[in-house]
Amino acid sequence: MGLNAAPSQLTSEQARHFLIRTGFAPTQQEVDALTGQSAQAAVADALARAKTAKPAHPPPDFVSQPPPVAYVMLKTTEEQQAMRRQQMREGLDLKTWWITEMIETRAPLQERMTLFWHNHFATSQQKVVRSQAMWNQHQLLRANALGNFATLLHAVAKDPAMLVYLDGANSRREAPNENFAREVMELFTLGEATHGGGYSEQDIREAARAFTGWSIERETFSFRFRPAFHDAARKTVLGHSGHFDGDAVLDVMLAQEAASRFIVGKLWKEFVSPTPDSAELNRIAIAFRASGYDISTALQKLFLTDAFWATDNAGSLIKSPVELVVGTVRQFGVSYSDATPRLSFDAASNSWRATARVTNTGQRAGAEVVQVYLSLPASANAVGARQPPKRLVGFQRIELAPGASGTVTVTIDPLASNHPLSVWSERGRKWIVPAGSFKVWLGRSSAPGDLALAGTFRR
């Protein structure tokens, strides 16, 4: 199987191999810095940095905003569709933020492990809808990426995004929903029943009873246990019997030898090769279980195996689309930009700034005018205001050569003389600034009527 493991002095090729496997495509400077170090030192440093690294960029603006009104409380189809579009827009902000972190991180292993658990505990905003729930789930995965798998499993099981995605939020003792019970065994802890998982359909049904009553608080979208919905009767799961709740059933699963083998097997396929070495996998699985499911322990032993450093395994893994794109940008210094418009607050000037990236896709040089529109909160109607659905509050002109791009920033100043947030109240016969959520939209002179939501701010 090629050369031996754990080199005492990494060559340039070995350094590059390690950096590719534990992160994304490295720069030559990163390879040079690692060359000559021992494998043990390289592994220890990568793990230490990944466990303590902090994000390089502040979170997206929507994270600090109040939770949106519950979807079921919106009265009209138009309101529901607008809310969904806003949530999807904020989801794009989350994706942009994370991709930027992957590209610019000083601890690539942290991003790789966060991505690993993101794929392992898969959910989708298409069903969850709430962007803040997706952000909270992302932070949960990031905080525990190299921590304790048992802790992570228990937390994900109660995560509101997971409860919505796998239909657990409405599971009741009269009609237990089996989706999460099935997925937590097959995909999250034990693997397929026919490939060593060791569970039956009856085990799934019994486990589903234990998770009844695990729900969410509608207003805050946080976890809530509802005792009236929980099946507290005796259950038998994987040969163990008791008045189990969801946490107890998860512990029963973690006590199975199949759990550590399944997780280590997935880590092997992520970092080493498509086909695990059975003896080495079992050795690492035993150490993983003995450590209380410490993820760093499993990774440390995995990175120091013969198989990890074997030349036969070099190039045996296929990059995911995310790895390919991020690695290309990192390795070759490709320039990138956020093409989606966004809204931010400038505390120094007490104003809001709408920013957009504009590209001249034509064949001739020309001017593009970016226009900023404001849609008023519903409270404006309550005072008898007569305003168009969206009002123009600013614009900026930019000259671009063919194929060139540029960034445009337009300021919305609430204290300006024309007071762009104010409306004329027919009832009060005066100018007022209504309370509520203002939405900011950006348009372009080259595409009249094609508006993109930049963001929302509250007053």
Structure tokens at 346: 């400038």
User: Is 70 exceeded by the pLDDT of residue 336?
Assistant: no
459: confidence class by pLDDT, cuts 50, 70, 90: low
Residues 6+ away with beta carbon under 8 Å from 293: 148, 149, 150, 254, 260, 263
Identify any residues that bridge with 368 across adjacent strands, giving them in sequence order: 398
4 or 341, which is more confident?
A: 341
3: confidence class by pLDDT, cuts 50, 70, 90: very low
Helices (H), ranges, 105-130: 108-120, 125-128
429 or 77, which is more confident?
A: 77
Q: Where is 266: in which H helix or E strand?
A: helix 257-271
Identify any residues that bridge with 225 across adjacent strands, giving them in sequence order: 214
Residue 95 in contact with residue 315, Cβ under 8 Å?
no
Side-chain half-sphere CA neighbours of 84 within 13 A: 13
Phi and psi at 263, nearest 5°, equal -70, -45
Can you tell me the mean pLDDT for 59-74?
81
Query: What 8-state DSSP symbol labels residue 71?
Result: G
pLDDT, residue 373, reads 73
417: confidence class by pLDDT, cuts 50, 70, 90: very low
113 or 28, which is more confident?
A: 113
Identify any residues that bridge with 375 across adjacent strands, giving them in sequence order: 439
Average pLDDT over the chain reads: 86
pLDDT, residue 294, reads 98
Length of the chain: 459
Phi and psi at 66, nearest 5°, equal -60, 150
Residue 211 in contact with residue 166, Cβ under 8 Å?
no
SS3 state at 8: coil
Structure tokens at 414: 């609430």
290 or 343, which is more confident?
A: 290
Residue 310 in contact with residue 2, Cβ under 8 Å?
yes
d(CA 185, CA 198): 10
339 or 58, which is more confident?
A: 58
SS3 state at 76: coil
2: confidence class by pLDDT, cuts 50, 70, 90: very low
139 or 334, which is more confident?
A: 139
296: confidence class by pLDDT, cuts 50, 70, 90: very high
User: Is 70 exceeded by the pLDDT of residue 363?
Assistant: no
Residue 204 in contact with residue 181, Cβ under 8 Å?
yes
Determine how β-strand 366-375 pairs with β-strand 391-400. antiparallel
Q: What percent of the chain has pLDDT over 70?
A: 81
Candidate ranges 107-121, 359-373, 411-425; pick with highest mean pLDDT: 107-121
Can you tell me the mean pLDDT for 149-165?
98
d(CA 286, CA 255): 12
SS3 state at 20: helix
CA distances from 306 to 17, 105, 193 (A): 14, 28, 30
Determine how β-strand 214-217 pairs with β-strand 447-458. unpaired
User: Is 70 exceeded by the pLDDT of residue 267?
Assistant: yes
Phi and psi at 55, nearest 5°, equal -55, 145
d(CA 452, CA 438): 14
SS3 state at 441: strand
pLDDT, residue 64, reads 85
Residue 181 in contact with residue 166, Cβ under 8 Å?
no
Structure tokens at 260: 């550590």
Pick from 412, 400, 338: nearest CA to 369: 400
Can you tell me the mean pLDDT for 382-404?
67
